[in-house]
A and B are shown apart, each in its own frame.
Chain A
Amino acid sequence: MAIVFKQETFRDDFTYRNSPENIRRFPFPFDRDEYMYSVNMEPHVKGREGTVFESLIDVDEHYVAEMQDRALVLKEDPLRYQALPHMMTAQWDTLELLMEEQAAGYPEHFTLIRNGDQWRWINRPLGIDDTFTFGDASTLPYEPLEYITRQAQGDFCIVDQRDGNLWMDAGMVTTQADWSLDFDIGMNFMEWHGPVPLAHQIGVFDRALKFLLNLQQGKPTRRFNWTMTINPRLDTSPENYHKWGPDRTTVTSENVGEKVHLRVELQSLWRLPRSNAILFVIRCYLMNMEELVTVPKWARRFPRVLKTLPAELVDYKGLTRYRQTTIDWLSGFDDGAPTSPGIFPD
């Protein structure tokens, strides 16, 4: 079924909203009424219809608007896209993966025709129809990774594997929860996770690294991460902190439902074939509290999760100023009834 793409903004007048159908498919990340870090990884396999797991690279009603917002970010700050020279093979691997998955999941919107090294890529929502030579970057208007990630929702990092570690050596990062590719580029797995509290002490990153070093081709894996964002702003980068940081002081009991958003990252990790690098896809989903409470199970569970969040995480996620206001507002929708297991709406 063809997706109806919305015209909307993630800045200035913030017209971004989810349709009722899109709320039902939101990847609500909490499968129980409390929260703690864990190596919460599971195989990235196709899931049930009407969820974000329908396709392995998810495309939804926000696709066109998100790509327009990415173009605006890149225009102001081209360093949001970077790739070190040795990552060219991995760039092509990524282009292939994203074209194949989008074409397979959404044939009415995307078509890939491969004839040896001569490829034709048709992207109908963005009005693109390009023919190029796979492996020859001069036949594309941008480097392969930049080209395809200007046409795919989510942030993308490619990490190189060497010396028993993973290195952040390429990426397109414009929808990030307060981290910077320009800062992290060239860092290894332990270095770029440096600031995360609690998780280091319980050995989460040692185990995660060990797991990822053996990530297998043909067996992608996924995990959730989450935070909260005031206003539906995709680009909450350290570079633009002056634009979004002060938003956190603007939450009141009157506007909390509209302003406060749950921000969920569906991270999928893929071993790339020709380069043996790993692609991290960090796909961001936003939903405000008014939208969230339209699903009774989530309305009950989310305030309970917020109440049990350790102080370090409240601080790390930047929720300190508005967590209580949000809990107070949400608690009006929590009748105390038990919630069913799992993440999906009842």
Chain B
Amino acid sequence: MSGGTEIPVRVTKVTPVADRIKRFRFERLDGQPMPYFSGGAHIIVSMNDGRHVRRNAYSLMSPPQDCSAYEISVLHVEDSRGGSAFMHEKVREGDEMKVSYPVNLFQPDWRARKHLLIAGGIGITPFIAMMEQFFREGASFELHYAVRSHDRGAYCQELVERYGPHRVKIYCDAERNFIPLTRLLDSQPLGTHLYVCGPSGMIDGVLKAGLEAGWPEQNLHSERFLSSQPGKPFDIELLRSVKTVHVGHHESMLEAIEAAGVDAPFLCRGGACGQCETAVVACEGRLLHHDVYLSDEEKASGRKVMICVSRFEGNRLSLDL
């Protein structure tokens, strides 16, 4: 498989942590230690529903130095294409699954004098592992965590207890309590790096505010939980494999290509890493680019597509695969 080495694991614990959020603990079947990882890393979890394999990325939230198990938290998304629904409804303690080696596309800048973390909702998960690493290494950090309501906010109390109210601040939308972004951005020591993870609108807002407040672009980091969006079905022609593949309403191109038995490269499955970049040979129609990897010029050129999240509308799409 092109996505990296997979580790067979057993689900040893499933814990409800908040409304529609469950935590899953994975231990290796072979009894070996899990690889260490760096805060901000994610894994790809393979979900086999009997008919086909779905693969979703989830941030690791267990302590990076603890190699006894990996833990992730999954939000049950209403308009999910099935990944989070599968995790919530089908996965039970004792089940065997496969997870990938960790990949980190949201690495802290180790030069930072201070790490300013801004989380929205389930976007908290990468920060839980990051803070554990910062804490062990004696790095300075501060978390500002916005939740919609207290019953939907995961780990609020645990984090305040572990790191203290001076380092962990919770903001609750339902109580009309919001992150004081402007004040935060204006009051950081030189050399602070900012990290934001949460809903797309929040990420856009924080990055924009950061730039407007005069922060260097290099000090602003974000991770979006992109996933393939549902859309109209279409066909793609794979020239090297000499196959035509049908992409269904809830399927991504990558998933359809995999289901057809073609081994396409991938890593993040979220339009961020660039690994699944595929050359477009012919395109009669419109590419719907949903990734954050290709530049605007590359998207406009119509010569490349990220098959993990992007779609197509039109008559004919031929790929170099």
Q: Determine the residue in chain A with the shortest Cβ distance to B277.
A: A210
Task: Tell me what chain B mostly uses at the interface: helix, strand, loop, or mixed.
Answer: loop
CB of A86 closer than 8 Å to a CB of B: yes
Interface residues of B in 108-157 (CB under 8 A from A): 109-111, 133, 136-137
- In angstroms, Cα B35 to Cα A204, docked, is 31
Q: Determine the residue in chain B with the shortest Cβ distance to A117.
A: B65
A273, B218: Cβ atoms closer than 8 Å: no
A160, B110: Cβ atoms closer than 8 Å: yes
Q: Inside 8 A of B102's CB, which chain A residues have their CB? A: 217, 273
CB of B278 closer than 8 Å to a CB of A: no
Which of A161, A162, A216, A273 contacts B36, CB < 8 Å? A273
Task: Select the stretch in B206-214, B236-244, B267-275 that faces chain A.
Answer: B267-275
With both chains docked as a complex, state the minimum distance between the C-beta of B181 and any C-beta of chain A, in angstroms: 23
CB of A46 closer than 8 Å to a CB of B: no
B107, A276: Cβ atoms closer than 8 Å: yes
B36, A274: Cβ atoms closer than 8 Å: yes
Which of A88, A162, A210, A218 contacts B107, CB < 8 Å? A162
B101, A218: Cβ atoms closer than 8 Å: yes
With both chains docked as a complex, state the minimum distance between the C-beta of B215 and any C-beta of chain A, in angstroms: 14
Q: Determine the residue in chain A with the shortest Cβ distance to B100.
A: A216
Q: Inside 8 A of A87's CB, which chain B residues have their CB? A: 110
CB of A275 closer than 8 Å to a CB of B: yes
Provided the pairs A218-B5, A273-B36, A276-B41 are in contact, do residues A162 and B109 lie with their beta carbons within 8 angstroms?
Answer: yes
Provided the pairs A214-B274, A216-B101 are in contact, do residues A274 and B38 lie with their beta carbons within 8 angstroms?
Answer: yes
Provided the pairs A210-B274, A214-B267 are in contact, do residues A274 and B5 lie with their beta carbons within 8 angstroms?
Answer: no
Q: Inside 8 A of A161's CB, which chain B residues have their CB? A: 107
B35, A273: Cβ atoms closer than 8 Å: yes
Q: Inside 8 A of A273's CB, which chain B residues have their CB? A: 35-38, 102
Task: Tell me what chain A mostly uses at the interface: helix, strand, loop, or mixed.
Answer: loop
Q: Determine the residue in chain A with the shortest Cβ distance to B193.
A: A162
With both chains docked as a complex, state the minimum distance between the C-beta of A114 and any C-beta of chain B, in angstroms: 11
Q: Inside 8 A of B4's CB, which chain A residues have their CB? A: 216, 218-219
Interface residues of A in 82-131 (CB under 8 A from B): 86-89
Provided the pairs A162-B109, A216-B4 are in contact, do residues A274 and B37 lie with their beta carbons within 8 angstroms?
Answer: yes
Q: Inside 8 A of A276's CB, which chain B residues have their CB? A: 38, 40-41, 104, 107
Size bin of chain B's contact surface: 20 to 34
With both chains docked as a complex, state the minimum distance between the C-beta of A202 and any C-beta of chain B, in angstroms: 18
Interface residues of A in 213-236 (CB under 8 A from B): 213-214, 216-219
Q: Inside 8 A of B101's CB, which chain A residues have their CB? A: 216-219
Provided the pairs A217-B35, A219-B101 are in contact, do residues A275 and B218 lie with their beta carbons within 8 angstroms?
Answer: no
Which of A86, A88, A162, A217 contacts B37, CB < 8 Å? A217
- In angstroms, Cα B37 to Cα A248, docked, is 47
Q: Inside 8 A of A160's CB, which chain B residues have their CB? A: 110
CB of B198 closer than 8 Å to a CB of A: no
B273, A214: Cβ atoms closer than 8 Å: yes
Interface residues of A in 34-83 (CB under 8 A from B): none
Interface residues of B in 10-67 (CB under 8 A from A): 35-38, 40-41, 64-65
CB of A335 closer than 8 Å to a CB of B: no
CB of B253 closer than 8 Å to a CB of A: no
Q: Determine the residue in chain B with the shortest Cβ distance to A167.
A: B111
- In angstroms, Cα B4 to Cα A219, docked, is 8
Q: Inside 8 A of A218's CB, which chain B residues have their CB? A: 4-5, 35, 101
Q: Inside 8 A of A217's CB, which chain B residues have their CB? A: 35, 37, 101-103
Sample (28) of A-B pairs whose CB atoms are under 8 Å apart: A88-B137, A89-B38, A89-B110, A89-B137, A135-B136, A160-B110, A163-B218, A210-B274, A213-B274, A214-B267, A214-B273, A214-B275, A216-B267, A217-B101, A217-B102, A217-B103, A218-B4, A218-B35, A219-B4, A219-B101, A273-B36, A273-B37, A273-B102, A274-B36, A274-B64, A274-B65, A276-B40, A276-B41
Seen from chain B, the residues whose Cβ lies within 8 Å of a Cβ on chain A are 4-5, 35-38, 40-41, 64-65, 101-104, 107, 109-111, 133, 136-137, 218, 267, 273-275
Name the 7 nearest CB pairs between A and B, nearest first: A273-B36, A86-B110, A276-B38, A86-B111, A218-B101, A276-B107, A276-B104
- Known contacts A213-B274, A274-B37; 18 additional CB pairs below 8 A are A86-B110, A88-B137, A89-B137, A163-B218, A214-B267, A214-B273, A214-B274, A216-B4, A216-B103, A217-B102, A218-B5, A218-B35, A219-B4, A273-B37, A273-B38, A273-B102, A276-B40, A276-B107
